[in-house]
Amino acid sequence: MARSVVLAGCGLLLAGTTIAQGIFGRWVTIDDNSGKKRSIVEITERQGQAYGRIVQLFREPGEEADPICDECDAADDRYNKKVIGMEFIRGMEMDGDEWDDGTILDPENGKVYDCKLWVESGDLKVRGYVAFFFRTQTWVRE
């Protein structure tokens, strides 16, 4: 009996840690079409805002292992920079249970979108949008 109480207590502590972490930490991105892992990203907080950088890419045979963002706008400071290590989420601000008012860059096409982040059922929901058009991805904690 005492052992099950201790295990249940440990489970509650771990659940509380996950909730407290919110969006921060490492996440595995999943390809919308294939369902395969695409990358690992790390989201951190700096001066009250959230930022994300690409830590690792999972590449297919024949794909560049560490590509550059040659599709980025030439005026963007990420233009022609390596994707691994790139800060691709910027300036997210907390708004209740969500983070928004920031941007997310898609390094494959070089486009920058408005962004919203929130945790739902332990997964990170990432929405990039322009006006009323949006796409939402689900990332899983590493």
Measured distance CA(86)–CA(104) in Å, rounded:
11
Domain ranges of the chain: 23-141
pLDDT in tens, the chain (142 residues): 544 433 344 443 444 434 446 999 999 999 988 999 999 999 999 999 999 999 999 999 999 999 999 999 999 999 999 999 999 999 999 999 999 999 999 999 999 999 999 999 999 999 999 999 999 999 999 9
Check: CB of residue 66 under 8 Å from CB of residue 84: yes
Structure pTM? 0.84
- 23-141 CATH fold: Lipocalin (2.40.128)
